[in-house]
């Protein structure tokens, strides 16, 4: 590990360090080694798609979701088959892109790719749980494709049972596969737009900014105003809030 020193311009040691030529050869070599050993996050590629296309002789779809963790709103699953000759530039995990960049990439994906989106609403989430609602969304998004895929790349480590085509799970897939990255962008933009629209009707919860996630702002709003039909009652924070809101007032001891 290379230790660094911080100097101020009026520090005598700073002037001494400059007069002596700054970094010596040993320091420079150590710093270069530290920089070279620092891990660099690779960008997603089309390698996995090409591998599966070669094996199954057909298009490959990337599948990803947005919204498994929030307290409110739907889970959205997107399936994207990229056109190998018109892959948009700058595709990456939606979480590392700015909102503006996601919108730009979304428009390009929709203009050049085969896309299907499935919406798992709150009633479905509460009825069958968030994992099963997400797996349902994966199957539904695949079936909505106008072009059937020969194989699927699914972000994460769980694939739905009886999936309609050959499926490979990829942990961290939105940072490894361009098709999954494209699906993550479509799912994220679609869900964010839905939450902003809902926020116009349910102004108290700040969904235009927190998108239904469990932020302190969202928790304070639930405490002050209760929950609405778009909150996931099967999620423990909402379940607890409902219990507190419906609990009878505590009896006080007589004087």
Q: Which residue has the higher pLDDT, 247 or 106?
A: 106
Q: Helix crossing, 236-246 with 216-225: angle to 10°?
A: 30
**Which residue in the block uniquely carries the two structure tokens 């001494």?**
16
Q: Which residue has the higher pLDDT, 81 or 37?
A: 81
| CA distance readout (Å), 159 to 5, 43, 169, 179, 226 | 50, 24, 6, 16, 36
> How far is 221 from 208, CA to CA, in rounded Å?
14
> Under 8 Å CB-to-CB from 25, ≥6 apart: which residues?
none
Which tens digit of pLDDT belongs to each residue from 26-73? 655 555 555 455 555 689 999 999 999 999 999 999 999 999 999 999
| Whether the predicted pLDDT of 85 surpasses 70 | yes
pLDDT at 18: 43
Residue 153 backbone dihedrals phi, psi, to 5 degrees: -110, 120
> How far is 173 from 154, CA to CA, in rounded Å?
7
> How far is 48 from 168, CA to CA, in rounded Å?
10
| Whether the predicted pLDDT of 24 surpasses 60 | no
| Whether the predicted pLDDT of 4 surpasses 90 | no
| CA distance readout (Å), 104 to 100, 116, 122 | 6, 18, 28
End-to-end CA distance of the chain: 67
Q: Nearest-5° angle of CA 175, CA 179, CA 183?
A: 85
> How far is 23 from 43, CA to CA, in rounded Å?
33
Which tens digit of pLDDT belongs to each residue from 199-240? 999 999 999 999 999 999 999 999 999 999 999 999 999 998
- Of 163, 78, 183, which Cα lies nearest the Cα of 120? 78
């Amino acid at each position: 590990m290379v230790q660094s020193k911080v100097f101020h311009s009026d520090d005598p040691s700073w002037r001494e360090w400059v007069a002596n030529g700054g970094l010596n050869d040993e320091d420079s070599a150590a710093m270069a080694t530290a920089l070279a050993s620092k891990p660099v996050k690779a960008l997603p590629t089309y390698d996995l798609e090409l591998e599966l296309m070669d094996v199954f002789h057909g298009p490959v779809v990337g599948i990803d979701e947005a919204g498994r963790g929030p307290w409110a709103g739907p889970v959205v699953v997107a399936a994207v088959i990229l056109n190998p000759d018109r892959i948009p530039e700058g595709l990456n995990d939606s979480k590392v892109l700015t909102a503006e960049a996601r919108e730009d990439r979304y428009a390009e994906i929709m203009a050049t790719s085969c896309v299907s989106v499935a919406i798992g609403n709150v009633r479905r989430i509460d009825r069958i749980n968030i994992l099963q609602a997400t797996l349902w969304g994966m199957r539904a998004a695949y079936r909505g494709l106008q072009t059937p895929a020969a194989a699927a790349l699914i972000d994460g480590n769980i694939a739905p049972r009886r999936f309609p085509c050959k499926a490979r799970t990829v942990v961290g897939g939105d940072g490894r596969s361009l098709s999954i990255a494209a699906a993550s962008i479509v799912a994220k933009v679609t869900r964010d737009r839905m939450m902003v629209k809902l926020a116009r009707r349910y102004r108290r919860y700040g969904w235009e900014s927190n998108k239904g996630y469990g932020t302190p702002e969202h928790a304070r709003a639930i405490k002050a105003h209760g929950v609405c039909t778009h909150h996931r009652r099967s999620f423990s924070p909402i379940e607890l809030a409902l219990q507190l809101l419906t609990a009878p007032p505590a009896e006080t001891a007589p004087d």
